[in-house]
Chains A and B, each alone.
Chain A
Amino acid sequence: MKGKHKGYAVSVVLAVMLAMTAGCGNNTASESEGAGADAEQTVAVGAGRITQCVNWPCYIDPAVGSGYADSVSMLNLYDTLTFPNTDGSVSPFVATDWEVSDDSTEYTFHLRDDVYFHSGNPLTASDVKFSMDRLLTIGEGYAYLFVDLIDSVAAVDEHTVLFKLKKPSGTFHSTVIRLYILDEKTVMENIDASGTYGEFGDYGKAWLTTNDAGSGPYKVKEMKTEEYLLMERNADYWGGWEDGAPEQAKVIGGITGANLRTMMSRGEVDISYDAETQETYDALDELDGMTVVRLAMGTNLNLMLNTKLAPTDDIHLRRAMAYAMDYETLGTNIYPKSRTATGPIPSGFKAALDASEFPYSRNLEKAKAELEQSPYREELLSGELPIALTWCTEGGDRQEKFALLVQAGMSELGVKVNITGKPFAAMMTDAQTVETTPNASMVVFAPPSLDVGSVLKARYHSDSCGSWEQMEWLRDAEIDEMIETAVTIPGDAERDAQYAEIARKIVELCPTIWLDLSHPMAYNSDHVVLWPAAEISKTGEPFIYATGYTAYYRDFRLAE
């Protein structure tokens, strides 16, 4: 290479390096500055944004989504008739009040007259009817809560909507926290006529993948289906705004481990997801301004015992397993700050049993005594009849540790437990018949609404046998009847008493080993100065959030 060429090459390399260096530096600052060259292509980045990591993908169409990320998005973009409280009750929201017929089969909701969609259209009873019809027709998302319940919906007048139910329900006003109200006019303006829903085309499904038709406190600013959802304030929100509430809210997927730690340290993410390793939370806890909280969200972890397959079809063996369980290690080392459950109703619900009513705690003497009464005792002790336990691989290493803890506990009794990790998809397939359902299966259950009846029905009613929600195969006619009766009782106290009675009956049968999960989440408390869920968790009082409602951003407050 000639000297002149060498000189050019060195100059070019230096120029590139210089330009790179100029383009680097503090990321957040440079992003807005760097973009200054093309101001029209930028959006404001400021202190008024909250960013939360969630699981991904995220579906923002109310007739499609029902996961955590979906719920977080929908409850911020859309309004509902009632709003959940942290004690398991609901408050009026878009509905100012409601009436229930004597037989609990008709609910009449009266709507506010000052609610407007992001499009500017007023929210009316017709929109409520449209939203329910759309949800039931598409049949996805939270439709499962309503599909067996709704007979018809009618807009009585502009601000009155009547729901007729196929069967009595004392808790329908709680279930409608999952009926997100869409702007009928906007949706119909954006349907794809080639869709499969007749005159409704695709019912707006394609458009609603990246847009909203809601009236909620936030509206879609940008939806990148592969990465994040960015929402911005609905400035004209009927509920108003208080100082410090986030101007923008961003939910972002796929940020884990080292990347999460890096982004949180740089202030690019404010709230972590809840499925990180303990090491990651410990590392996050050490960062300046970072706080790790553990939120009880009504989710419980269930070791479901197949009551129709040997040897767990024997109640004495199931009780022996419950007594052999090391609950302290489980609730401190494996799932820190999780509570030992008091039965099938998660703590936080008023109907949850008192700890004094729950008989199971680690007691090897009682476990041995129960095992002595088992007709399978000999086969169990000889290893001829091991217990098959499946844990869910998506549950991470903590579920595996839980499985090993069960194995260790039973080995103290001389009983062999074979453990297998399987993806949830395979577990769902296994759950379809008694024979393919393992003796013990580990499943996390999150209540979709604040109705204990829906929890009990999904978990222990015979109708749910064959699904992942009930791998116990309880099939107990008495419990079925008790649940069906309880959900029709209109009075809260009376209904809760009946739910508690069902819980006692289930505890007696010992089909499950329960753990009330606490979800660890790290957040930047220097920036997020008020996060209601974090505050309430610090009080130590029982509380419950319906899935996603810990992230109702309108109630958050950010530092100036």
Chain B
Amino acid sequence: MGISIAKRILTYVLVLFGLSILIFVIARVMPGDVARMALGPRTPEATVEALREEMHLRDPIYTQYFYWLGDIFKGDFGVSIISKRPVLDDIRIYLPATMELVLLSAVFTAFFGIVLGVLSAKYSGKWPDAIIRIFSYFGVVAPAFFWAVLVMLLFAYLIPILPSSGRIGPGLTEPAHVTGMYILDYLLAGNTAGAFDALKHILMPAVVLSFGGISQAARITRTSMTENMMKPYASAERAYGIPENKILFKYLLRPSLNSTISVMALDIAGAFAGAFLVEQIFNYPGLSRYCLQAMLNKDVFAVSAVVMVFGVIFIVMNFVTDIIISVLDPRVRLAARGEA
């Protein structure tokens, strides 16, 4: 087990190292002069040249890479050319915003995805299954930005009950920074009005972000559940007279969740990077939108750092998923120990 974990951690380190090279090169071969982009098109050439020197842009790309890597080990991710702040400060501000959004979206995905999947399996071939299937198809086929515009027009424009932009309303000041996640920070400060306001602001983006995941989770759960419902042990349970709901939720759901959780974890990890359109449309100041702006402005330090953060998140999510699956399914645990 210990060796297995060590191997896995070594793989993760290699993946991150490869990712760092890849993103460093990609960020630098994007068209445009980094220093010129940083200082603006009209800044005198002497000032731009000084920045090129400071950023080692005249050195070969591999030398630049080692400067960058060396700085990272010292905790210095460079200064963003957009915000003019250390990139690490930007990440501290933007990451919790995206984290809050993705976590809420993950809650919706997990809850509705599994519930709809179970219902769909239970009523397989009947009208609830058909409705859920249609919803799932729409959720998968229509992109998040489509839902974003639709939901915004519906709940912010036609029936204006939810705010369409930002993290909190103009009448509120930010909560004291504890986690950076406003709902939680307001609650910790005992400010329920603030927490509600933050919840209202995040509700539409989180729901929209979860649509795709809910649809996928529902379909996968349904498929696994349907398969398991045909297995002999399910028939035996029915023969013993165990109520159908108990069979579904107690005996069939757990073994049916392996695929769902694997896919859901990838969806959630992917949502960190893929939230940029939703964040853009709702003007939500998260890390994905920041990364998009950084790419458009050739903010090389910001792009590199953010992609590395997304890489780490992806790896952590994979690791956590493996643990959850091994807890849920004894076969996986035994296979890891070589006992299966």
| Chain A residues in the interface with B (C-beta under 8 A) | 1, 19-20, 23-28, 30-32, 34-38, 41-43, 45, 56-57, 59, 64, 66-67, 138-141, 143-144, 147-148, 205-206, 209, 224-227, 250, 254-255, 257-259, 261-263, 265-266, 268, 422-426, 428-429, 448, 467-469
Contact = CB atoms under 8 A, between A and B. Distances in A.
A347 to B, nearest CB: 23
A24 B161 contact: yes
Contacts of B196: 19-20, 23, 34
Contact of B191 (A30, A41, A205, A206): A41
Interface stretch (B69-77, B115-123, B152-160): B152-160
Given A31-B170, A31-B172, A143 B44 contact: yes
Interface string B154-178: 0011001111111001111100000
A140 B84 CA distance: 13
A258 B31 contact: no
Nearest to B191: A38
16 contacts: A1-B245, A20-B199, A30-B169, A31-B171, A32-B171, A38-B191, A64-B84, A66-B40, A144-B42, A148-B44, A225-B84, A226-B94, A266-B157, A425-B33, A426-B31, A428-B33
A261 B153 CA distance: 9
| Residue from the set B94, B166, B298 with the largest chain A CB neighbour count within 10 Å | B166
B42 A258 contact: no
Nearest to A56: B293
A143 B47 CA distance: 10
A423 B31 contact: yes
Closest 4 CB pairs of A and B: A425-B32, A31-B169, A139-B47, A426-B31
Contacts of B19: none
Contacts of A143: 43-44, 47
Contacts of B170: 31, 43, 45, 250, 268
A314 B191 CA distance: 71
A37 B193 CA distance: 6
Given A37-B191, A57-B82, A23 B31 contact: no
Given A38-B191, A64-B84, A226 B285 contact: yes
Contacts of A225: 83-85
Contact of A258 (B152, B169, B191): B152
| Residue from the set A258, A263, A426 with the largest chain B CB neighbour count within 10 Å | A258
Interface string B42-60: 1110110010000000000
Contacts of A1: 245
A42 B172 contact: yes
Contacts of B197: 23, 30-31, 34-35
Contact of B281 (A34, A224, A226, A257): A257
A529 to B, nearest CB: 21
Contacts of B40: 66-67, 140-141
A206 B162 CA distance: 36
Contact of B153 (A19, A41, A139, A262): A262
Contact of B44 (A32, A144, A263, A266): A144
Contacts of A254: 280, 283, 289
Interface residues of B, number: 58
A27 B47 CA distance: 46
Given A261-B157, A266-B160, 11 more contacts: A20-B199, A23-B196, A26-B160, A209-B85, A226-B93, A250-B170, A262-B165, A268-B170, A425-B298, A426-B31, A429-B32
Contacts of A206: 85
A10 B39 CA distance: 58
Interface in B161-208: 161-166, 169-173, 191-194, 196-197, 199-200
Contacts of B164: 259, 262-263, 266
Contact of B31 (A56, A141, A429): A429
Contacts of B28: none
Contacts of B290: 226
B33 A144 contact: no
Given A209-B85, A422-B31, A259 B282 contact: yes
A140 B47 contact: yes
Given A25-B161, A428-B36, A429-B32, A41 B47 contact: no
Nearest to A26: B160
Given A23-B199, A43-B173, A209-B85, A428 B41 contact: yes
B297 to A, nearest CB: 8
Nearest to A253: B283
A41 B173 CA distance: 5
A139 B47 CA distance: 6
Nearest to B161: A24
| Residue from the set B160, B161, B170 with the largest chain A CB neighbour count within 10 Å | B170
Contacts of A429: 31-33
Contacts of B199: 20, 23
Contacts of B94: 226
Contacts of A268: 165, 170
B31 A226 contact: no
B149 interface: yes
A340 B314 CA distance: 54
A1 B289 CA distance: 43
A490 B56 CA distance: 45
